[in-house]
Structure 1
Amino acid sequence: LAQYDGIAWTGCSLTVFEDDPRVHTQIEFCREAFRAGVPSFGSCWAAQIAVVAAGGLCAPNPRGREMGIARKIALTPEGRAHPLYEGKSGVFDAFISHVDEITHLPPGAVLLASNDFTRVQSVSVTYQGGVFWGLQYHPEYDLHEMARLTWCRIDKLMSLGFFKTREDAEAHVDLLETLHQDPSRYDIAWKLGIDSDILNEEVRRTEVRNWINRLVIPTRRK
């Protein structure tokens, strides 16, 4: 693993605290990445894997699923001073889709951001010589990807009360797709409560860019 400049993790439909060999394999791989000193980054499942690999805990969020857009994510004092958030607003919205959450941080972890729904929205984990910057939300998503994810989960989301009817869900998906194709549609952005945190790619992907510029490249140069 040491030959790699960085490791980027994606989300996953597995549950990190279940006794599942697929989960065990990923936890051990994360530990190997820590030991190799390769800078890691990822969203959702990735943050949970990093925390568990370093000795922390996750559990189902008692509030249920956080879906669509995480509102009012606020940086902690540590987050405002952290290179991951260089150039980012102190409070912002972001794409999200999760049921489980980080409940206990391990030694070497620093809470960087929270909101009212999920206490750990962002964390930096230092463990056995490696560093992992993990986000519960998804800076890599765009409106099209969120539309497709919503479409695939319409039945589930209806059962959870996000939509009253399939027609409501399909109309919501159509709005997301239309706004993705034409971000100038202020009427749709207003209706969905979406601003530059979501619509501006440079703003939305600040964390990914900072991981590369402030952690991957400096680590490679050592």
Structure 2
Amino acid sequence: MPGSARFLVLDGYPAEHRGPLAANGGTLAGDLYERMLQSCLPGCDVDILFPADADCALPSGQALHDYHGICWTGSSLTIHDEADDRVTRQIEFAKAGYEAAVPMFGSCWAAQMAVTAAGGKCAKNPKGREFGLARKIALNSAGQDHPMFRGKKPVFDGFTSHEDEVAELPEGAVLLASNDFSRVQAVDVSHKGGSFWAVQYHPEYDFNEVASLCRWRREALTKQGNFASLEDADQFIGKMQALHENPASSHLRWQLGVDGDVLDDGIRQEEVRNWIEVKILPRLNG
């Protein structure tokens, strides 16, 4: 009888940003991923580490191989900042994950990490920050045939918050989905015997998490042009929070232009369940 699946979750936020996120009502990124993994595979074991912290001891050798899967959360860091050791040590660990052939999955920062660790490039998106909802994410032909998107509509919305994007795909990467804001919304990277499925959006988020991020960053988001004023930001926060508390609210669903793509956990997290089915369960049962 196989034991429980073991996941390593890498919370990419540095300590100085985890505090403000929690203070504004947000859930720590690692905890969000643990919650999602437990929902998709009840009874699994999840270890959360904070690789941006200088004192974080990342597993290597057999300790790394003992995990059935590695998950990467979002991050407030800049992936293309080569002078930031909080970034570079995460890239080095992603390279080790590839070489250990432990399947990897993740959101946002993870898509940029998957590409960078395999030799691709990321840069600041000239369109600014995609925030709140990534609209009309469209699967290309490769995405429609890819097991990550089994059961997913060919065009859907997802929660998002990013200003960096994948600029150049490495060898071994397959582009799966795009929208008008970012060409790379989902990617499958094969590198040195390893596999990394990643999406630029956040299947682990809900409306409370977006409202909390907005509370934390409302001034910066307004300066960046996501909102016309702080009052505009506050109205957005209020609607997001209200819809989280009452997801059946038809007028809020209409005003925000949302449906089951983001309101239904089963639809929103289909990619994660597919990754577990295709990449994790065979390792667990083998």
What TM-score does the superposition give when structure 2 sets the normalisation length? Answer: 0.76
Q: CA deviation at 1:217?
A: 1.3
Equivalents in 1 of 2:220, 2:282: separation in Å?
43
**1:126 corresponds to 2:215:** no
Q: Percent of aligned pairs with the same residue? A: 52
Structure 2 alignment gaps of length 5 or more: 1-63
Contact kept? 2:129, 2:226, Cα under 8 Å: no
User: Which of the residues 145, 155, 161 maps onto 2:209?
Assistant: 145
**1:166 corresponds to 2:238:** no
User: Which of the residues 177, 193, 199 maps onto 2:257?
Assistant: 193
**1:91 corresponds to 2:173:** no
Q: For 1:1-222, what aligned pairs fall within 5 Å after superposition?
A: 1-19=64-82, 20-222=84-286
Per-residue Cα deviation, 1:74-103 (whole angstroms, up to 9, x for no partner): 001010111100100000000011011101
What TM-score does the superposition give when structure 1 sets the normalisation length? Answer: 0.97
Contact kept? 1:39, 1:219, Cα under 8 Å: no
Q: CA deviation at 1:219?
A: 3.4
Equivalents in 1 of 2:181, 2:269: separation in Å?
22
Equivalents in 2 of 1:4, 1:67: separation in Å?
33
Structure 1 alignment gaps of length 5 or more: none
Contact kept? 1:27, 1:53, Cα under 8 Å: yes
Range moving further from structure 2, 22-31 or 210-219: 210-219
Contact kept? 1:7, 1:38, Cα under 8 Å: yes
Q: CA deviation at 1:165?
A: 2.4
Aligned residue pairs total 222
Per-residue Cα deviation, 1:7-66 (whole angstroms, up to 9, x for no partner): 010111111111211111001100101111100000111110110100101111111111
Secondary structure (helix, strand or coil) at the match of 2:65 reads coil
Range moving further from structure 2, 202-211 or 163-172: 163-172
Per-residue Cα deviation, 1:114-144 (whole angstroms, up to 9, x for no partner): 0011000000000111100011100110011
The RMSD of aligned alpha carbons is: 0.9
Q: CA deviation at 1:2?
A: 0.6
Equivalents in 2 of 1:91, 1:219: separation in Å?
31
Secondary structure (helix, strand or coil) at the match of 1:214 reads helix
Runs of 4+, deviation exceeding 6 Å: none
